[in-house]
């Protein structure tokens, strides 16, 4: 059995990363760099959507594309959590060298992606208008937003298939092919945006159709890749079925991950409401700053993904001695990336914010946020890495609970109990670094406890 697996390793060495032997840091970076590029590309393509619609269709269309954003994230986050579960389970069986169990996990995960995509798609399509009116979407924007959201949800099965397929490829260390597929899809998205919106004047609907066409292309590419891949993650469409025990394993890791994402979305909506109370200039500055900080976040998030996959494979292979090496390397990488990009942001923030606006007051408001949040963002990366290591160790409920208490509940308590004594923007933004430090300390203590209890070598 082992010989058979080694044979496959040597044949697919071009894309697969051996996470079980040798120094961790170079392999961690080889895994993370394509992920960083994928995320930066995705953010840039999303920005292109907004720029095209804003330039050619005006403010109402721009607002219509922006309004459903937090709602779409809320619904998608839960199911994207399941793709994290798929990544952990496939990586663990792959690390253990168990071909049959890995195959079962792959086929179960892909069927779950189709079912969850259809479920969210139908739900979002029929309830789009209702949800948007609950969110007080302005009346002049509501019909456009509803049209955008309905079309967007039609593409949900493709969105889920791509995300689950990419999670399976990540499980064996392949982050390069998903990057290629995303690049192809993203370029198509930008070209179609220009054709549909600028040439055919399809407005908001044009942006939505361009987005789902790109999602369908990326889903087809990832499925073809899994079908053509030999070895334990090979996908045979005739073998698609739900293996109850694998579905349960994926759900045990994935549902807490998804719920955590939902709680974050809810707390962000409440913080956003507080920011909005300072008026249009502060809201605009906050939007520009958080957009730029998004680039730092996705670069750090690649280390979180690496921590999950490397830990899962080593747990599967019973290489418990490597868990602390993975943890150390991931923390070192995330601090270097987060703090390094934070310094670049502080040095050049006026240049960055000029991309969004020429209003000096908006730039001042954006700079104030970035001085507090952008400069300490590496703390967020550190606590994310600890969540990744814990999930890779098979712990998903405890880190979810700690994150929800430390990030969401603590910030809400801050807004309701501490902030009123000194209701300034500085006081509001300080809730971010303080919640990150406290949450990291609790996660790290939890990691030491779990490691000692279950994985002492």
Residue 308 has what pLDDT?
95
Mean pLDDT for 131-159 is 86
Among 216, 242, 268, identify where a domain stops. 242
What's 135's DSSP letter?
Answer: T
Residue pointed to by tokens 């995509």: 117
Residues 54 and 183 in one domain: yes
Residue pointed to by tokens 């709680």: 263
Residues 237 and 263 in one domain: no
Query: If you write DSSP's letter for every residue of 265-307 in order, what string do you get?
Result: HHHHHHHHHHHHTT-HHHHHHHHHHHHHHHHHHHHHHHHHHHH
Is 432 domain-assigned? yes
Residue 2 has what pLDDT?
33
- Vertex 339: Cα angle to 337 and 344 (nearest 5): 90
Burial degree of 213 (CB within 10 A; 0-12, 13-18, 19+): middle
Is 338 domain-assigned? yes
Is 247 domain-assigned? no
Question: How far is 412 from 432, CA to CA, in rounded Å?
Answer: 11
Residues 203 and 285 in one domain: no
Residues 358 and 213 in one domain: no
Residues 364-390 pLDDT 10s:
988 999 999 999 999 999 999 999 999
Backbone angles phi, psi at 359, to 5 degrees: -75, 115
Among 194, 218, 242, identify where a domain stops. 242
- Vertex 265: Cα angle to 54 and 74 (nearest 5): 75
Does position 261 have pLDDT exceeding 60, yes or no? yes
Question: How far is 57 from 208, CA to CA, in rounded Å?
Answer: 14
Domain containing residue 225: 1-242
Contacts of 394 (CB under 8 A, 6+ apart): 88, 92, 253, 315
Cβ(67)–Cβ(345) under 8 Å?
A: no
Residues 148 and 178 in one domain: yes
- Vertex 199: Cα angle to 195 and 203 (nearest 5): 85
- Percent of the chain scored above 90 by pLDDT? 64
| pLDDT-based confidence at residue 457 (cuts at 50, 70, 90) | low
Among 177, 210, 242, identify where a domain stops. 242
| pLDDT-based confidence at residue 139 (cuts at 50, 70, 90) | confident
Residues 313 and 353 in one domain: yes
Residues 106 and 172 in one domain: yes
Residues 269-322 pLDDT 10s:
777 778 877 887 888 788 788 888 889 999 999 999 999 999 999 999 999 999
Residues 83 and 198 in one domain: yes
Is 248 domain-assigned? no
Mean pLDDT for 337-357 is 91
Question: How far is 165 from 167, CA to CA, in rounded Å?
Answer: 5
Give the predicted TM-score (pTM) of the model: 0.88
Residues 230 and 261 in one domain: no
Indicate the average pLDDT of the chain.
89
Residues 43 and 145 in one domain: yes
Question: How far is 382 from 341, CA to CA, in rounded Å?
Answer: 14
Is 226 domain-assigned? yes
Does position 331 have pLDDT exceeding 80, yes or no? yes
Contacts of 158 (CB under 8 A, 6+ apart): 117, 212, 215, 216, 218, 219
- Percent of the chain scored above 70 by pLDDT? 96
Residue 204 has what pLDDT?
86
Residues 428-454 pLDDT 10s:
999 999 999 999 999 999 999 999 999
Residues 317 and 385 in one domain: yes
Is 21 domain-assigned? yes
Burial degree of 277 (CB within 10 A; 0-12, 13-18, 19+): exposed
Residues 283 and 215 in one domain: no
Cβ(110)–Cβ(164) under 8 Å?
A: yes
Q: What is the 3-state secondary structure (H, E, C) of 349-411?
A: HHHHHHCCCCCHHHHHHHHHHHHHCHHHHHHHHHHHHHHHHHHHCCCCHHHHHHHHHHHHHHH
Q: How many structural domains are present in the chain?
A: 2
């Amino acid at each position: 059995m082992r010989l058979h697996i080694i044979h496959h390793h040597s044949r697919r060495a071009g894309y697969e990363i051996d996470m079980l032997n040798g120094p961790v840091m170079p392999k961690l970076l080889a895994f993370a760099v394509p992920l960083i590029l994928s995320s930066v590309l995705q953010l840039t393509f999303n920005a292109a959507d907004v720029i095209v619609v804003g330039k050619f269709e005006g403010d109402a269309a721009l607002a219509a594309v922006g309004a459903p954003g937090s709602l779409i994230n809320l619904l998608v986050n839960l199911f994207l959590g399941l793709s994290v579960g798929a990544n952990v389970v496939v990586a663990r069986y792959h690390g253990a060298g168990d071909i049959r169990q890995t195959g079962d996990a792959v086929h179960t995960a892909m069927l779950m992606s189709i079912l969850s995509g259809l479920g969210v798609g139908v739900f979002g399509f029929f309830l789009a208008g209702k949800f948007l009116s609950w969110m007080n979407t302005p009346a002049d924007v509501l019909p456009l937003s509803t049209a955008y959201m309905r079309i967007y949800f039609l593409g949900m099965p493709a969105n889920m298939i791509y995300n689950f397929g990419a999670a399976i490829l990540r499980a064996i260390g392949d982050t390069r092919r998903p990057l290629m597929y995303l690049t192809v899809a993203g370029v198509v998205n930008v070209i179609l945006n220009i054709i549909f919106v600028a040439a055919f004047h399809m407005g908001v609907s044009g942006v939505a159709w361009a987005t789902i066409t790109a999602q369908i292309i990326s889903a087809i590419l990832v499925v073809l890749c899994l079908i053509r891949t030999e070895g334990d993650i090979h996908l045979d469409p005739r073998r698609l079925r739900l293996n109850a025990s694998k579905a349960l394993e994926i759900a045990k890791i994935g549902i807490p991950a998804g719920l955590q994402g939902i709680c974050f979305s809810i707390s962000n909506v409440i913080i956003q409401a507080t920011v909005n109370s300072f008026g249009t200039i502060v809201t605009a500055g906050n939007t520009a700053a958080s957009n730029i900080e998004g680039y730092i976040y996705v670069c750090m998030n690649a280390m979180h993904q690496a921590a999950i996959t490397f830990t899962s494979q080593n747990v599967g292979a019973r290489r418990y001695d490597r868990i602390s090496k993975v943890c150390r390397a991931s923390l070192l990488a995330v601090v270097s990336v987060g703090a390094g990009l934070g310094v670049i942001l502080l040095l050049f923030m006026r240049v960055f914010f000029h991309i969004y606006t020429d209003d000096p007051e908006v730039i001042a408001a954006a700079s104030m946020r970035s001085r507090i949040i952008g400069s300490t963002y590496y703390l967020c990366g550190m606590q994310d890495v600890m969540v990744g290591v814990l999930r890779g160790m098979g712990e998903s409920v405890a880190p979810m609970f700690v994150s929800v208490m430390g990030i969401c509940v603590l910030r809400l308590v801050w807004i309701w109990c501490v902030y009123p004594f000194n209701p300034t923007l500085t006081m509001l933004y300080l809730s971010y670094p303080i919640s990150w430090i406290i949450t990291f300390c609790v996660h790290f203590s939890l990691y030491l406890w779990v490691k000692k209890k279950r994985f002492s070598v």
